[in-house]
Amino acid sequence: MAEGDIKNDEYWRDKLSASEFRICREKGTEPAFTGEYWNCQRAGRYRCRCCAQILFDSQHKYDSGSGWPSFYQPVSTDAIVQTLDTSLGMHRTEICCSACRAHLGHLFSDGPAPTGMRYCVNSASLVLQGNDDEEL
């Protein structure tokens, strides 16, 4: 998907399950400790569920205790877009896929070294491509 090629809701409703649409396109959140990848130890690359852009690598994943997949850095700074999220009376940093603007989760400054950051991501926003899987 080329930059600027943001699809409309009808396109995404056809491509995603109802739960994936709510999370990825309507900025929802899955309950903690319920997503497919929160406790996953499999090696590979985490791609955007919507457009398949590579976002995170399993070598940067860690157990934050939050119940969501957490990474201390993305594969590149260009993979993620950050915006201020003031919903629910909070001031947080929302993270989205830079290619299709799918909502991924939030960024917090309570992560481990070397970055001190925690990219807290909904499993429903991701697809894990294992190191032994065919290229998508």
Catalytic residues, by residue number, are: 120
Residue with tokens 């594969």: 75
Residues 134, 29: Cα–Cα separation, whole Å: 29
Burial of 61 (C-beta count, 10 Å sphere; 0-12/13-18/19+)? buried
Helical ranges in the chain per DSSP H: 9-15, 18-24
Q: Give me 86's structure tokens.
A: 């003031």
Nearest Cα neighbor of 88 from 40, 20, 28, 43 is: 28
Please name the amino acid found at residue 17: S
